[in-house]
Amino acid sequence: MASITLANVGKVYKGGNRAVTDLNLDIADGEFMVFVGPSGCGKTTALRMVAGLEDISEGTISIGERVVNEIDPGKRDIAMVFQNYALYPHLSIFENIAFPLRARRVPRAEVREKVERTARLLGLSEFLPRKPRTLSGGQRQRVAMGRAIVREPQAFLMDEPLSNLDAKLRVQMRSEISRLQEELGITTIYVTHDQVEAMTMGSRIAVMRKGVLQQQGHPQEVYERPANMFVAAFIGSPGMNFFRARYACVDDGHVLQLPGQSVRVPEDVVRQRPGLAAYRDRDLAVGVRPEHLTLGSGGGPAISASVVRSEMLGAERLVHVELPASAVVTDEVVEAAADVDATAVTALEEESGQRHVTLILRADPAARVEGGERVEVGVVAPRLHFFDLETGAAIGA
Amino acid sequence: MAGEPTVRNRYTWRTFSRELIVLLIAAVFCLPLYLLLVVALKPSNQLFTQPLQIPVPPRFGNFADAWAGSGDGSLGTAVISSIVITVISVALLIVFGSLCAYVLARRPGRLSNTLYILFLLGIIIPFQLSVIPLYVGLRALGLVGNYAGMIVLWVGVMMPLAVFLYTGFVRQLPRDYEEAARMDGAGTLRTFLRVVFPLLRPVTGTVAILTGMFIWNDFFASLIFLGGTDYETLPVAIYSFVGEYVTQWNLVFAAVVIALAPLVAFFIVAQRQMIRGFAGGIRG
């Protein structure tokens, strides 16, 4: 087991296309680090540089105390699980798992013993004589894991290993991989574009965009204190709601001014975010997660809105409300929306030209609301997020 | 019972007539084979009087006469020559062709592209154009009139086709397998031998069949480079039955049947593998 350190790592392809810029990360021994971001954000390139499958253009990567920039992948003592598993189709499951041991000329008896032990651990014993094509997706996934763990490497690298599985199996395998990683205590870098996977599996997550690390930290910390609008929009499902407001100082405190109404910002919230002082009488982007909006004010700050529709999801109800305000349509928000689906981008673009914005709030499934109904939407003010409209950076301390 | 779905007879006249047409086409393809067998079993006096009829009784002695050969060598020697030359040439083509293609496909660059174009030109340019310089060169090296020279010649002549077929296939092969092997600690040669080469099985079958058939059936090069020696291949040996004044067609046909036998046997034994290879591609 070993720590992995990326220091000022960059990747520039032939022709000048830059995939990763100045990436700095310290991954502790035994840690489960998840690289997450939309397609093309550089997360897989970063992983492949750690693996040794891509040359490192700038900076250094160390595994343990050893700088591995010039070391061949096979000599880095790390194992990788590929997106399509890359199981050798002509070899039996036994031979697939045994491959890394045979490549290292491990004695036959030891190979058999280790492969059988690994197969027992993963529930693959009965499949050892079979060929990969006879196994289901989940079983193949386990074989790929087996091939990675059989030689007890210093670190695991996993490149979207669950993306080829159906939703139900993905949930099952998610917990299985987490359990295995905890049991084995091997340092792991896991790449995914699925923020739910990132949140549930990672002991730490690194959010990337356009080759640049946006934020790293414990999933809860990233969720609750996003560093910028991109992270705020990307992490969370449904994503964070954004609207444009003017931050103003009035006689008895601070308010967010919207067309036709204003929302009081409690003094303790203002005190916790001294950076807001610089935005007095200026427009900023306000972000609020669906669970921090409520139906009914409950005595706290509230905004008046009209219901567009409500979606019953069993355990909760998602209520879409329309608010007279301007939408925040920056590159970051659009890119995060694009990762969800193309229609989200279209909806954002439509809103950009109008004077209203749609917010989603999480309500009790028993709540009865009809489309067109006027409602008071309560805001959990301490959980409001503020962002600079130009830079997208969070406004905080 | 009301509402029960009616089971229709799907075998209609239309299906029957389609099948009949297909069978007739198949019969047309079988006709040369019929003629070959019939003539091979005829006594000499029936060759032109009853050319299409099944000989009664069939004369199996034709095969023995053909096997004994005409003039200097027996057909047995020619069969051995053909087998030695074809098998060794095809094996070398597979080994060198796949290795060469692997490098061309996986190390892109100006040198690789240039070499690939040269190989393509090698397919396009008829090898007959280079027979005279080849003959002079091989003779200077002592490679005319022996197995080694013929094998070198065939490996050279057929290599462009082998490289072309292998390169196209390797380019389609996902790199993940090789990357997985590299991560697992396998070196380039081990990766090629244990991972890449087995994945090339379908195209290896194609290369073996195309080049093997060509070499086995070749008359021209064998006549020039091996003619008059003890290493003549089957087509040249069969040609010796064709005389200036008299041709023993029944012996020629019997010899052709003998020449076909190893190929037919190979197809029968390996057909399942080959069809799987052609159709299967790569399945995880």
- The interface predicted TM-score (ipTM) is 0.82
Q: Distance between CA atoms of B234 and B219, rounded to whole angstroms?
A: 8
- The dihedrals phi and psi of B117, each to the nearest 5 degrees, come to -65, -40
The verdict on a CB contact (< 8 Å) between B284 and A140 is yes
The verdict on a CB contact (< 8 Å) between B190 and A88 is no
pLDDT computed for residue A397 by the predictor: 59
Q: Which amino acid is at A31?
A: E
Contacts of A174 (CB under 8 A, 6+ apart): A162, A197, A200, A201
- The dihedrals phi and psi of B47, each to the nearest 5 degrees, come to -60, -45
Average pLDDT over residues A143-157: 92
Find chain A residues with C-beta within 8 A of B283's C-beta.
89, 133
CA of A126 to nearest chain B CA: how many angstroms apart? 19
Q: In this structure, what token pair is assigned to residue B58?
A: 């069939």
Q: Helix B61-68 crosses helix B249-280 at what angle (to 10 degrees)?
A: 90
User: Which residue, among A59, A97, A50, has the nearest Cα to A77 in the 3D structure?
Assistant: A50
Per residue in A236-249, pLDDT (tens digit) is 888 899 999 999 98
**pLDDT category, A231, cuts 50, 70, 90?**
very high
Least confident of A148-152, A280-284, B2-6: B2-6
Average pLDDT over residues A43-72: 94
* Contacting A residues, span 14-53, partner chain B, CB-CB under 8 Å: 51-53
In this prediction the pTM is 0.81
Find chain B residues with C-beta within 8 A of A104's C-beta.
185
Cβ–Cβ contact A147 with B under 8 A = yes
Three-class DSSP labels, A159-226: ECCCCCCCHHHHHHHHHHHHHHHHHHCCEEEEEECCHHHHHHHCCEEEEEECCEEEEEECHHHHHHCC
The verdict on a CB contact (< 8 Å) between A86 and B179 is yes
Is pLDDT above 80 for A122? yes
pLDDT computed for residue B276 by the predictor: 63
More confident residue, B264 or B114: B114
More confident residue, B270 or A374: A374
pLDDT computed for residue B194 by the predictor: 92
Is pLDDT above 80 for B245? no
Find chain B residues with C-beta within 8 A of A75's C-beta.
185
For residue A228, list its beta bridge partners: A393
More confident residue, B264 or A78: A78
**pLDDT category, B282, cuts 50, 70, 90?**
very low
Burial class (CB in 10 A: 0-12, 13-18, 19+), A164: middle
For residue A358, list its beta bridge partners: A322
Burial class (CB in 10 A: 0-12, 13-18, 19+), B52: exposed
CB pairs below 8 Å between A and B: how many?
A: 72
CA of B275 to nearest chain A CA: how many angstroms apart? 17
Q: Distance between CA atoms of A12 and A58, rounded to whole angstroms?
A: 8
User: Could you give the dihedral angle defined by the CA atoms of residues A372, A373, A375 and A377, in that order, rounded to the nearest 10 degrees?
Assistant: -40
Is pLDDT above 60 for B142? yes
Is residue A323 within 8 Å of residue A286, measured between CB atoms? no
Average pLDDT over residues B192-203: 92
Biggest CA–CA distance in chain A, Å, is: 82
Q: Distance between CA atoms of A68 and A77, rounded to whole angstroms?
A: 10
**pLDDT category, B77, cuts 50, 70, 90?**
confident
Per residue in A313-370, pLDDT (tens digit) is 988 999 999 988 888 877 777 777 676 666 666 766 666 666 788 999 999 988 888 8
Q: Distance between CA atoms of B268 and B262, rounded to whole angstroms?
A: 10
Per residue in B79-119, pLDDT (tens digit) is 899 999 999 999 999 999 999 999 999 998 899 999 999 99
β-pairing verdict for A58-63 and A66-67: antiparallel
The verdict on a CB contact (< 8 Å) between B183 and A78 is yes
Q: In this structure, what token pair is assigned to residue B194?
A: 């244990």
**pLDDT category, A67, cuts 50, 70, 90?**
very high
The verdict on a CB contact (< 8 Å) between B185 and A51 is no
pLDDT computed for residue B59 by the predictor: 86
pLDDT computed for residue B1 by the predictor: 45
The verdict on a CB contact (< 8 Å) between A74 and B199 is no
SS3 A317: strand
Per residue in A179-195, pLDDT (tens digit) is 989 988 999 999 999 98
Biggest CA–CA distance in chain B, Å, is: 90
Average pLDDT over residues B176-186: 93
Is pLDDT above 60 for B284? no
Average pLDDT of chain A is: 90
The verdict on a CB contact (< 8 Å) between B184 and A132 is no
User: From residue B80, how far is each of A372, B63, B237 by CA, in Å?
Assistant: 92, 17, 12
Is residue B182 within 8 Å of residue A53, measured between CB atoms? yes
pLDDT computed for residue B267 by the predictor: 80
Find chain B residues with C-beta within 8 A of A80's C-beta.
179-180, 183
Is pLDDT above 80 for B69? no
Cβ–Cβ contact A79 with B under 8 A = yes
Q: Distance between CA atoms of A1 and A245, rounded to whole angstroms?
A: 50
User: From residue A230, how far is each of A25, A207, A240, A391, B229 by CA, in Å?
Assistant: 19, 9, 10, 10, 81
More confident residue, B149 or B275: B149
The verdict on a CB contact (< 8 Å) between B183 and A87 is no
**pLDDT category, A372, cuts 50, 70, 90?**
confident
β-pairing verdict for A317-323 and A385-387: unpaired
Nearest residue in B to A50, CA atom = B183
Q: Distance between CA atoms of B77 and B80, rounded to whole angstroms?
A: 5
Average pLDDT over residues B183-195: 92
Give Cα B169 to chain centroid, integer Å.
20
Average pLDDT of chain B is: 86
More confident residue, A347 or A117: A117
Residue in the block written with tokens 């040609």: B239
Per residue in A91-114, pLDDT (tens digit) is 999 999 999 999 999 999 999 999
pLDDT computed for residue A170 by the predictor: 87
**pLDDT category, B31, cuts 50, 70, 90?**
very high
Least confident of A25-39, A130-144, B10-24, B36-50: B36-50
Is pLDDT above 50 for A26? yes
The verdict on a CB contact (< 8 Å) between A82 and B179 is yes
